[in-house]
Chain A
Amino acid sequence: MSLTFLAPLFLLGILAVAVPVIVHLVNRERRNAVAFPSLMFLRRVPFRSVRRQRIRHWLLFAMRTLALILLAAAFARPFLDRGDRNATAAGAGPRELVVLLDRSYSMGYGDRWTRATAAAERALAGLSGADRATLVLFDDEAVAAAGPTGDAAILRAALQKARPGASATRYAPALSVAQQLVERAERPRREIVVISDFQRAGWDGQELPRLPGGTSLSAEDVGDTAVANVLVTGVDVTRDARDGVDRAIVAARLARSGPRPVDDARVILELNGREVEAKRVSLPARGATSVTFASVPVPDATTRGSVRLSTSASDDRLATDNIFHFVLARAQVVSVLIIESPNTPAARSVFLPRALGIGDRPTFRVVQRRSDRVTPADVDEARVVILQGVGMPGGAVGDRIRTLVRDGGGLVVALGEQNGGRALAGASEMLPGTIGEIVDRSTERGGSLGALDRGHPALETFRGARSGDFTSARYLRYRAFTPAANDAILARFDDGTVALAERRVGRGRVLVFGSTLDGYWNDLPVQPVFLPLVQSLVRHAAGWTPERPWETVGQVLALSSPAATSRTPSIAVSPSGERTRWSAGDSVRSLRLREQGFYEIRDADAVTARRIVAVNVDAAESELGAFAPDELVRAVSPGSDAPLSASTTSTLSAAEREQRQTLWWYILVAAILLLAAESIPSNRLSRTARQDAALAVGRIDHA
């Protein structure tokens, strides 16, 4: 049992004891000069060597000194560190040791990893007898690499196999694993050793799992005091499709953290592993810059692109973030089949194809067919079918449309003169509601759209404020229809009639618009909002999502979206060659990205990749600023924010901690009582001093 202080710095207050003593001894003579009429008689008294600089009122001095010491001690928050009642940290008995070893990519900085493994070796070296240990490797997730076991050889083997990965640091998962391990532990002494560089990015101050009472947590900081780094933080790819050639302009963003600028950085653009262009750039100290490469034609196949940074700066000791990968793919195409009435004049059938022909994210390939000439092959080619004022085609075409929708395609129905409830009877099970009669508002100069659900994905384009003026279009006629309970209503006319509704059918979507899209019943096609509205509806109906040119390590990639993928067995190959397989029946296919580089996703029996995914490290991990391990120790300590030592810290329960810290109250009360008692002799002496003062009438300068 030992006395420990929570705020030992307050003990410096004890030095205040010296102040009155020094003042007393140094200034006493000067301040106590007494004017006296004549020294005639005093001089005649035989001189005696008297130590005048001495303390005369010892009782008073002792009381005051003791009071000061008690006050300082009280504020230092003393508590009795009795070790643990369960014979934990300092006690006897076998240990349950959990070594949390950070393997995030920042641990590859300089010789951090070497120091970290050495620290882990040291921690494991203490194992003896009935001790058990678990080696947990963590980055953004935590995995028990070995243990719990008492076999040090197994643990050392796992340690030797461990390498820094490409993931970012997250402390919460590691501490959760440690918490579970120590809670399950049967050994009386429970110890956790955290070996990390304690990156600030790894913990945003949020709640961490609290360790059970009696657990000893020690932190081994292998971070560096001064760090510097050069990295590629990102890439911007701009597509340029002018002159009919798809080109890409790549611009890389570079950053420098460190006190010195870098003048000779070499930045290389690689496509499919070949160097395309190299540039030299200068990076200011603690600054950033960007470099733009010349435009390059985008090949038909998906292209792997990388921006690689090399520098002779000796302090760039983290190589992982010097490369940035991305994918250049041909523009995505969504095929749209527009089926319209044979009687539709040419002047009215131009609006939809024109509006869709302008888009490039994605590009729409539009096929326009009259209802009497549409073939099943046309439907097979399409991703989205638009019924522009016509009923549901019968026969094979109708079947193909239904199949398309069930498999994830889209159907957009624009209601008009000829596609009442009867005309659409063949699609009634797919339509979001029952089609009603025509509402004619031509006598009142037409109606307008009254309300839009701008939060719906189909209208996400218009989510921003003042985005899309739908009120300018006048609707002379539209059809009333009544959606079912499960159908989503996206828009209503100003009289409350549903204008746009959606129903999910299988994996596909069916959208019904209450009026025409060819300008017959309204002037919507000539309004500015027409183009984005149509594109947005078709994108949504097609289930289109933009392909990202790169992903980040730690993300989970969802591969189950396209209908085709679930019908065939497929395989994902990581940059290191690790394979993940999905069988034909796996409907949910996801892949956690753990490595930096290019993942290939292909059909099991195919040679070429169906999809290539570029994966980069999390740039936040390149921010090498660290926090004090003490903060982490405090955060996991149960029920207290009291500062604890980071090196060897015993975590106690809140009740235990509170109980052990109450000592300072008693000390404070004792100090107050002592000060009160001190006032008695002090007042007595003050009276004497006043009498002395009266004897010298102002000439005695009181000390």
Chain B
Amino acid sequence: MHIGRARDETAGTMFIDPKVLAKIDNLELLARTVVEGFINGLHRSPNLGASMDFAEHRAYMPGDDLRRIDWRLFGRSDRYFVKEFEADTNTNLLILLDISASMGFASGAVSKLQYAKFLASCLAYFSSRQRDRVGLVTFADAIVDYVPPAAKHLNIVLQTIARATPQGQGSLDAPLNQVAEHARRRQIVVLISDLYDEPERIVRAVARLRNRGNDLIVLHVLDPAELDLPFDDAANFEDMETGEAIPVVPGLLRDQYRTLVADHTATLARLMREERIDYALFNTSQPLDHALFAYLADRQRLSRTR
């Protein structure tokens, strides 16, 4: 399959346009496309070199590390075999995916939910490649689907992500509270949501997970139209979750709206930082691999300093 690539502002790096990703139905293929791309871009994965257990032998191929040749077997069979090892799976990755109705909004080719699905898939695939156990929770105002973290649950996770559709009103309190109560061991928790709530309430909800010793990452997904309010015509704006409508003249409100949104994201970032929660804002018009690359690079840089 030919995959189109859009040139981003970042010099020298090719990133994949979300519109192109939207055409890939298979989330695993999508995740591989994205992840392989940015891994190549990183050159060195920060997680390489973890301890390994023997899994199987395979025939030596030119380019394989000579240190990994099983010489004993060579002695018995006069052939070169390489030892394959399973990575240690000492970390769980739990993805909390918000599928409330507001996530269905799209001003371009990709809705917020689609973008969030790409993110979740890429992270799941990426973690799976690192032999982490991957789990998934989809939720609106309550948990919709739950896939417990496991080393072989990647396919189930990807399928569950693919199946998710926008529904219901969004709320973080109940689902996150429920996840916090059932999480028995420390894990990396990734929350992907548009975070339409008061920043304090959001932080309070996610802080419960953080307080249980989890490593928490909050990925805030917003559509560019939510950030800029670019509409011209006066119209009734209808809340996608509640159905409530109010008359709006965008031209008159635009500046105040942008200020409010900017304040909201800034407050979230500040409060998250104070709670030692990783926070990143994703604009659905940005290339996904670029966003992930930037975020993961940032996270790696931060982890060295922490």
- Residues on A lying within 8 angstroms of B by beta carbon are 28-30, 32-46, 48, 50, 52, 688-689, 691-692, 694-697, 700, 703
**Which residues of B have CB within 8 Å of A32?**
233-236
Known: A37-B112, A692-B231. A42 touches B238 (CB 8 A): no
Q: How far is the CA of A695 from the CA of B231 in the complex (A)?
A: 8
- Whether A52 contacts B241 by the Cβ 8 Å rule is no
Q: How far is the CA of A48 from the CA of B226 in the complex (A)?
A: 21
Q: Is B237 an interface residue (CB 8 A)?
A: yes
- Whether B257 contacts A36 by the Cβ 8 Å rule is no
Known: A40-B196, A50-B252. A33 touches B236 (CB 8 A): yes
Known: A32-B235, A42-B248, A50-B247. A37 touches B226 (CB 8 A): yes
- Whether A42 contacts B247 by the Cβ 8 Å rule is no
Known: A45-B260, A52-B247, A695-B230. A37 touches B105 (CB 8 A): yes
Q: How far is the CA of A48 from the CA of B112 in the complex (A)?
A: 30
**Which residues of A have CB within 8 Å of B242?**
39
Q: What distance in Å separates the Cβ of B59 from its nearest Cβ neighbour in chain A?
A: 52
- Whether A33 contacts B107 by the Cβ 8 Å rule is no
Q: Is B61 an interface residue (CB 8 A)?
A: no
**What are 8 residue pairs bridging A and B, where the CB atoms are less than 8 Å apart in the complex?**
A32-B234, A38-B239, A39-B244, A42-B248, A50-B249, A689-B232, A692-B230, A700-B235
Q: How far is the CA of A544 from the CA of B306 in the complex (A)?
A: 143
- Whether A692 contacts B232 by the Cβ 8 Å rule is yes
Q: How far is the CA of A694 from the CA of B236 in the complex (A)?
A: 17
Q: Is B225 an interface residue (CB 8 A)?
A: yes
Known: A41-B257, A41-B264, A694-B108. A36 touches B240 (CB 8 A): yes
Nearest 7 interchain pairs by C-beta: A37-B102, A32-B235, A38-B196, A37-B105, A695-B107, A41-B260, A52-B234
- Whether B238 contacts A697 by the Cβ 8 Å rule is no
Q: Is B143 an interface residue (CB 8 A)?
A: no
**Which residues of A have CB within 8 Å of B253?**
42, 45
Mostly helix, strand, loop or mixed at chain B's interface?
A: mixed
**Which residues of B have CB within 8 Å of A46?**
256
**Which residues of B have CB within 8 Å of A697?**
106-108
- Whether A35 contacts B105 by the Cβ 8 Å rule is yes
Q: How far is the CA of A117 from the CA of B48 in the complex (A)?
A: 121
Known: A38-B102, A39-B239, A696-B107. A33 touches B245 (CB 8 A): yes
Given contact pairs A29-B235, A692-B232, a sample of 5 additional A-B residue pairs in the complex whose CB atoms are under 8 Å apart = A37-B240, A38-B240, A38-B241, A42-B237, A689-B232
Q: Is B302 an interface residue (CB 8 A)?
A: no
Q: Is B246 an interface residue (CB 8 A)?
A: yes
Q: What distance in Å separates the Cβ of B165 from its nearest Cβ neighbour in chain A?
A: 15
**Which residues of B have CB within 8 Å of A40?**
196
- Whether B249 contacts A52 by the Cβ 8 Å rule is yes
CB-nearest residue of chain B to A685: B232
Q: What distance in Å separates the Cβ of A686 from its nearest Cβ neighbour in chain B?
A: 12
Q: How far is the CA of A703 from the CA of B233 in the complex (A)?
A: 10
**Which residues of B have CB within 8 Å of A29?**
235-236, 247
Q: What distance in Å separates the Cβ of B192 from its nearest Cβ neighbour in chain A?
A: 15
Q: How far is the CA of A688 from the CA of B232 in the complex (A)?
A: 8
**Which residues of A have CB within 8 Å of B223?**
37
Q: How far is the CA of A39 from the CA of B264 in the complex (A)?
A: 14
Q: How far is the CA of A701 from the CA of B245 in the complex (A)?
A: 15
- Whether B257 contacts A48 by the Cβ 8 Å rule is no
- Whether B237 contacts A41 by the Cβ 8 Å rule is no
Q: What distance in Å separates the Cβ of A51 from its nearest Cβ neighbour in chain B?
A: 9
**Which residues of B have CB within 8 Å of A689?**
232-233
**Which residues of A have CB within 8 Å of B132?**
none
Q: What distance in Å separates the Cβ of A66 from its nearest Cβ neighbour in chain B?
A: 24
**Which residues of B have CB within 8 Å of A52?**
234, 247, 249
Q: How far is the CA of A36 from the CA of B240 in the complex (A)?
A: 6
Q: What distance in Å separates the Cβ of B222 from its nearest Cβ neighbour in chain A?
A: 9
Q: How far is the CA of A40 from the CA of B242 in the complex (A)?
A: 11
Q: How far is the CA of A655 from the CA of B264 in the complex (A)?
A: 79
- Which of B107, B232, B246 is A42 in contact with, Cβ under 8 Å? B246
**Which residues of A have CB within 8 Å of B248?**
34, 42
Q: Is B261 an interface residue (CB 8 A)?
A: yes
**Which residues of B have CB within 8 Å of A50?**
234, 247, 249, 252
Q: What distance in Å separates the Cβ of A692 from its nearest Cβ neighbour in chain B?
A: 6
Q: Which of A43, A48, A691 has the most chain B CB atoms inside 10 A of its CB?
A: A43
**Which residues of A have CB within 8 Å of B235?**
29, 32-34, 700
Q: What distance in Å separates the Cβ of B284 from its nearest Cβ neighbour in chain A?
A: 12
Q: What distance in Å separates the Cβ of A687 from its nearest Cβ neighbour in chain B?
A: 11
Q: Is B28 an interface residue (CB 8 A)?
A: no
Q: How far is the CA of A30 from the CA of B249 in the complex (A)?
A: 14
- Residues 207-238 (chain B) with a chain A CB within 8 angstroms: 223, 225-226, 230-238
Q: Is B194 an interface residue (CB 8 A)?
A: yes
- Whether B225 contacts A695 by the Cβ 8 Å rule is yes
Q: Which of A35, A43, A50 has the most chain B CB atoms inside 10 A of its CB?
A: A35
**Which residues of B have CB within 8 Å of A694?**
107-108
Q: How far is the CA of A39 from the CA of B247 in the complex (A)?
A: 11
Known: A692-B232, A695-B230. A34 touches B237 (CB 8 A): yes
